[in-house]
Amino acid sequence: MKDVIFDDFQNAVDESLLRHKSILDIMTKLQESNARINRAIAKSITNCGCIKLTAEK
């Protein structure tokens, strides 16, 4: 029973991974995306003032 569930899961993952076949590729792309988001947020706060940041310790 567990083998059948695992096979179904593996097939679903194979269908989902169209471009990146390695977990390392996926992790790298995720880190790159996070870096872009962080830069965009920092730029929005400092350059145009689109976002207001209120922080306390």
pLDDT digits (tens, 9 = 90+) for 24-41: 888 888 999 999 999 998
The amino acid occupying position 5 is I
Indicate the pLDDT class of residue 1, thresholds 50, 70 and 90: low
Spatial CB neighbours of 51, under 8 Å, sequence gap ≥ 6: 41, 44, 45
Cα–Cα distance measured from residue 41 to residue 35, given in angstroms and rounded to the nearest whole number: 10
Cα–Cα distance measured from residue 22 to residue 19, given in angstroms and rounded to the nearest whole number: 9
CA distances (Å), 55 to each of 39, 52, in order? 18, 10
Q: Say if residue 5's pLDDT is above 60.
A: yes
Q: Say if residue 55's pLDDT is above 60.
A: yes
Q: Say if residue 52's pLDDT is above 70.
A: yes
Note whether 51 and 44 are within 8 A (CB). Answer: yes
Indicate the pLDDT class of residue 2, thresholds 50, 70 and 90: low
